Structure 1
Amino acid sequence: MEELMKTKIAVILSIVTVVIGIFLIWYFTPKKYSETLDGVYYQLGTEGIIEHIKVHIDGKLENHINGNKTFHGLIDFKGDKIPNIPKDRAELELHYDGHNFTTIFSPFRKLNGALKGRIRPDIYQYGWMYTNDKFTDFTIKLTMNGSLTLSDGYMITFPASDREEAMKKSQKLIKEFEQQ
């Protein structure tokens, strides 16, 4: 009887160990993250919005043992009035390390239209992005290699449908980052 009980316990512990192992492998394996979100492009210090835009994020999202998430990928904005990066620049990249803040940048310049893959390292900063721990709400202070003034700078917040929602989300995300 005692031998049967030990066997049952060993089988149950083996099953639990395998299930936990499978879950951990799934949880810590980087996952494809591709989202297109509606956002708002607006200027601080003025009323209304400048434009409703689409923001597309595409890359790999990874969970870590400390609970943080990291993301490496590309970000793209679609709209008529939103500032575009210069034509000779690489796509905008986003390298998020789990601390509710990152920069959005283009890491290099394409030479001669990138014929035969010729590039030159030359960082172009587009803006500073603040996000929540779940990587679901975002706000970006646009810098575009310049400086941002808090009274009249430009912002992108997503997902958001109007300026009021965008402003509230933006203030919350920046405040959460500053309190860390």
Structure 2
Amino acid sequence: MKRKNVLRIIIVLILLLIASYFFYIYPREIYEEYNGIYYKLGDSTFSEKITVKLEGYLENSLGEGAKFTGTLQLGNQILEKSLILQSKDGIGIIRYFDKDTQDYVTYGTLYSKAIKEGFTISILGIDDNGERGSWSSGDGYMISAPASNREEALELSNQLMENELGKYEVVLD
């Protein structure tokens, strides 16, 4: 092969890598609004419609998942300076800046295959001291979107949390 052809191939490969970076990895602005359901596990009478808004930047990484930075609005609750580092298996811890404590706080865990298509959130409970504590598959609070009723929300949660719940042979209801 001629030296000239090898140089052309190298240049094309470099240009493809640069284009791939901007297409896949480069942070993209995101504004998504979903209609979802806020509900409590183990209590079929508790479910409320909720609007969920994501406003910020979404960044994919090669083989490592995605990163969201921005504002996450869950109904009337606004989580500013939110950070979700989602692993390649679709699980991400939701952290946000709490103005009252001037510290970053964990809100819960997000499960999603693609955040623009839908997700479910397991919300950490709040203990007697006002601190976020734990979550239980028996009586924990959840948000699933998009969903128009509790049954759709549960179906989405079970689908997205299948790998996590399967470890313990649990089905949410």
C-alpha change, 1:122 and 1:70, in structure 2 (3 Å) is: closer
Q: Where does 1:133-148 land on structure 2 (aligned, <5 Å)?
A: 134-135=114-115, 136-143=117-124, 144=126, 145-148=132-135
User: Aligned residues: percent identity?
Assistant: 31
User: RMSD value over aligned CA atoms?
Assistant: 3.1
Q: Equivalent residue for 2:171? A: none
Under a length normalisation based on structure 1, what TM-score does the superposition of the two structures give? 0.69
C-alpha change, 1:126 and 1:109, in structure 2 (3 Å) is: same
Q: Does 1:107 align with 2:100?
A: no
Identify the range of structure 1 (14-23 vs 90-99) with the bigger mean alpha-carbon deviation: 14-23
Q: Equivalent residue for 1:98? A: 87
**Mapped contact 2:96–2:107 kept (Cα < 8 A):** yes
Contiguous gaps of at least 5 residues in structure 2: 127-131, 168-173
> Secondary structure of the residue that 2:122 maps to in structure 1?
strand
Q: Does 1:176 align with 2:163?
A: yes
Under a length normalisation based on structure 2, what TM-score does the superposition of the two structures give? 0.71
Q: Deviations over 1:99-155 (max 9, x none)?
A: 422232333434xxxxxxxxx5434333222222x2232111122414333222211
How many pairs are equivalent? 158
C-alpha change, 1:23 and 1:177, in structure 2 (3 Å) is: farther
C-alpha change, 1:179 and 1:46, in structure 2 (3 Å) is: closer
C-alpha change, 1:48 and 1:8, in structure 2 (3 Å) is: farther
C-alpha change, 1:156 and 1:21, in structure 2 (3 Å) is: same
* Corresponding residue to 2:16 among 10, 13, 20: 20
Larger radius of gyration: 1
Q: Where does 1:37-48 land on structure 2 (aligned, <5 Å)?
A: 37-48=34-45
* Corresponding residue to 2:106 among 118, 121, 125: 125
Contiguous gaps of at least 5 residues in structure 1: 1-5, 111-119
> Secondary structure of the residue that 1:164 maps to in structure 2?
helix
1:172 Cα deviation from its structure 2 partner: 1.7
Amino acid at match of 1:73: G
